[in-house]
Amino acid sequence: MSSLMVNDVIDFNALKELLGLTDGNLASHLKALEQQDIIVISKQFIGRKPSTTYKATEHGRDMFRQHLAALEKLINNQ
């Protein structure tokens, strides 16, 4: 999610390289995030090549901000 917070849109290959995941593992995680309305997936063709991109929804951005706030609270209370 952090990569989607700093990039409006990111493609599958960039995420795969950034995270060091296999195609199947990444696809499973992305599907779970889509099912929870945390990200939106867009598929299109560029020339003859398929291109899949991902974007955080507003709900996903809010959830990520709440997660960061909880982590900061945990860190500051110790």
pLDDT digits (tens, 9 = 90+) for 18-60: 999 999 999 999 999 999 999 999 999 989 999 999 999 999 9
What b/e string do you get for 42-53 counting C-beta neighbours within 10 Å, with b at 16 or more? eeeeeeeeeeeb
Given a cut of 80, whether residue 78 has pLDDT beyond it is: no
Quick one: average pLDDT of 50-72? 96
pTM above 0.75, yes or no: yes
Is residue 7 a contact partner of residue 46, using CB atoms and an 8 Å limit? no
Third-level CATH fold of 2-76: Arc Repressor Mutant, subunit A (1.10.10)
